């Protein structure tokens, strides 16, 4: 019995080892020939929904995920042993290498839009607002129903190259209020795309979650399948070229040419796609193909694209007016802003040219006036010399007449010197002391006399300064009132409100002299009747440490200090009532007063 049991156990162990070895061989063979759909990343291939492979590019996809109709001329591919007709994807049929309008990635399987553009089928399924003309065949793709403000509105959090992070359209995480944004194909690489089961009746069965909200196990096997799909697509073309005979390859190429001719005929005969009446704005920086062409152009021109900073500002901020400048795009707002800016620049240039002409004319007139002014000054000097000679002759004749009469005659006003003439009160001060015309003042810094209207007089040094020559320069004339004056920076530092400040003469580097007031300390008020208190000095107790210091007057010694009660009595006797505290008298009314109604000004 025991021997029988041992034989049975050995047979079972041998059977298990054979089954395990067979399953391992079968799994290894299956992994070598496994096909993965590039849309859903699934590897289940059934008769109703089989995984087919493009005989030109080697991409694999489910029939249902790509919208392949079984009754059409594109039936099956080389994945089936009974099928002999090749199958090609839409991009291979049209003979193009497409670039997706919704994301920057170039791998994957594409569908053509009604406007002749191309998008990933997975992008068209997951981006909200994208529609299909035929839901069963998933073609043509329509992008006009989607709001074009979504292009470049958000930044992808998975893009490695920041220059492509704002291209296309980014979708958000469907987990509540999560603010993670990413491209559809970037999320597919990370295994973040999900699809509801066929039994669930949901209007939009496609979901996307960020790394934080996605299922870890689900994400792991999707990520594994995506990497296996990429490696298989690269290796399958090389293996198929080695395995296929020249006759089979020629048959596939001939069939591909027929498909391309048929696609070209369909493109020319199909009805024109609907175009909105108003042009839909879209930033140029949101097109990945445009950025690649610009980068290629920069490479050919020898310009490095790494030195230019990447603009990561949010374009949505231009909607609420927080951006001063419009984002460069083919939009109505940017075109209006550009045209308005050009008009303003033209107007500013015309205004500057007109102002420059006026300035040149005024400068020419100023030079002419300076020449005339110099001539008038010379003639005035001659007239003043002649007037002085005639005045001396007149004074001599007037003195001679006084000697003849024997009386001292008063000199008339016309024979007096100009300094002695003073306007009387009856004349209202209209008569001036001298008949000299207005003098052109020179700046105390630049020593030039141009721009007389911009010269500012210092009320202390009596020198004129240009507003622009000052340090710091002034933008407008300071306000002068009856009680306030203006001083230059040097006089302001040396100025003082003391009425008896000493005035010292200072010689400037150019040889001119000006007065500068010396600063004095303000006079402190000291009552005359109250004696000044002696200054107290701290006395350190040398006997013990840590005690408080005691203070005593300088004249007294610590041993001769007056007791506290006695000092208080003396202070009370010496203090006078306020009514009898007659310390001084008013300088105006000569009346007596005290500190309550008198103010002492510094002498």
Render pLDDT for 105-156 as a digit per residue (tens, 0 to 9): 998 999 999 988 999 999 999 999 999 988 888 888 999 888 888 999 999 9
Which pLDDT belongs to residue 584?
67
Cβ-based neighbour number of residue 121 at 10 Å: 24
Question: pTM here?
Answer: 0.49
For residue 169, pLDDT over 90 is answered with: yes
In the chain, domain spans? 51-269, 332-415
DSSP for residue 198: T
Render pLDDT for 349-362 as a digit per residue (tens, 0 to 9): 999 999 999 999 99
Render pLDDT for 69-78 as a digit per residue (tens, 0 to 9): 754 444 444 4
Coil/strand/helix, residue 175: coil
| Mean predicted confidence (pLDDT) in 363-389 | 89
SS (H, E, C) 504-515: EEEECCCCCEEE
Burial 29-57, CB ≥16 within 10 A → b, else e: eeeeebbbbbbbbbbebeeeebbbbbbbe
- Please state, for a pLDDT cut of 70, what percent of the chain lies above it: 66
Q: How far apart are CA 170 and CA 123, in angstroms?
A: 10
Joined together, the tokens standing for residue 157 give: 């959090």
For residue 181, pLDDT over 90 is answered with: yes
For residue 551, pLDDT over 80 is answered with: no
CB 173 within 8 A of CB 213: yes
Render pLDDT for 219-260 as a digit per residue (tens, 0 to 9): 999 999 999 888 887 776 667 667 777 888 888 889 999 999
CB 159 within 8 A of CB 322: no
Phi/psi for 106 (5° steps) reads -110, -10
């Amino acid at each position: 019995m025991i021997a029988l049991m041992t034989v049975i156990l050995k047979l079972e162990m041998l059977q298990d080892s054979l089954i395990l070895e067979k399953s391992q061989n079968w799994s290894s063979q299956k992994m070598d020939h496994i096909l993965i759909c590039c849309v859903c990343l699934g590897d289940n291939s059934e008769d109703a929904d089989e995984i087919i492979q493009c005989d030109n590019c080697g991409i694999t996809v489910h029939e249902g995920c790509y919208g392949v109709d079984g009754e059409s001329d594109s039936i099956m591919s080389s994945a089936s042993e009974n099928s002999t007709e090749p199958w090609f994807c839409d991009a291979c049929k049209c003979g193009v290498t497409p670039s997706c309008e919704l994301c920057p990635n170039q791998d994957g399987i594409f569908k053509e839009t009604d406007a002749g553009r191309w998008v990933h089928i997975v992008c068209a399924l997951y981006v909200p607002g994208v529609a299909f003309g035929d839901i069963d065949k998933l073609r043509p793709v329509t992008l006009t129903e989607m709001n074009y403000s979504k292009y470049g509105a958000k930044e992808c959090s998975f893009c490695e190259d920041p220059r492509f992070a704002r291209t296309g359209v980014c979708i958000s995480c469907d987990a509540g209020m999560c603010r993670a944004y990413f491209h559809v194909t970037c999320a597919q690489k990370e295994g973040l795309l999900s699809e509801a089961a066929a039994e669930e009746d949901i209007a939009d069965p496609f979901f996307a979650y960020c790394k934080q909200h996605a299922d870890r196990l689900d994400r792991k096997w999707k990520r594994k399948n995506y990497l296996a799909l990429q490696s298989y697509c690269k290796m399958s073309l090389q293996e198929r070229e080695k395995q296929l005979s020249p006759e089979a390859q020629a048959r596939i190429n001939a069939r591909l040419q027929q498909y391309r001719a048929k696609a070209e005929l369909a493109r020319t005969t199909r009805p024109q796609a609907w175009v909105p009446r108003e042009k839909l704005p879209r930033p140029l920086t949101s097109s990945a193909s445009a950025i690649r062409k610009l980068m290629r152009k920069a490479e050919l021109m020898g310009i490095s694209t790494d030195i230019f900073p990447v603009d990561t500002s949010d374009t949505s901020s231009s909607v609420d007016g927080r951006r001063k400048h419009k984002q460069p795009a083919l939009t109505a707002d940017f075109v209006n802003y550009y045209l308005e800016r050009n008009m303003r620049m033209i107007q500013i240039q015309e205004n500057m040219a007109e102002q420059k002409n006026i300035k040149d004319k005024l400068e020419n007139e100023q030079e002419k006036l300076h020449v005339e002014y110099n001539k008038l000054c010379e003639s005035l000097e001659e007239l003043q010399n002649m007037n002085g000679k005639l005045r001396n002759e007149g004074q001599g004749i007037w003195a001679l007449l006084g000697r003849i009469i024997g009386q001292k005659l008063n000199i008339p006003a016309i024979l007096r010197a100009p300094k002695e003439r003073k306007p009387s009160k009856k004349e209202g001060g209209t008569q001036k002391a001298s008949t000299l015309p207005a003098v052109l003042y020179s700046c105390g810094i630049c020593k030039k006399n141009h721009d007389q209207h911009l010269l500012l007089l210092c009320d202390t040094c009596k020198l004129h300064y240009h507003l622009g020559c000052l340090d710091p320069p002034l933008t407008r004339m300071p306000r002068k009132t009856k009680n306030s004056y203006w001083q230059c920076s040097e006089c302001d530092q040396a100025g003082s409100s003391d009425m008896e400040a000493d005035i010292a003469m200072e010689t400037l580097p150019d040889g001119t002299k000006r007065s500068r007031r010396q600063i004095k300390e303000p006079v402190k008020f000291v009552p005359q009747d109250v004696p000044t208190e002696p200054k107290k000095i701290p006395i350190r107790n040398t006997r013990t440490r840590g005690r408080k210091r005691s203070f005593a007057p300088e004249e007294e010694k610590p041993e001769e200090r007056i007791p506290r009660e006695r000092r208080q009595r003396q202070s009370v006797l010496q203090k006078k009532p306020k009514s009898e505290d007659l310390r001084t008298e008013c300088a105006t009314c000569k009346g007596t007063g005290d500190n309550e109604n008198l103010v002492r000004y510094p002498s």
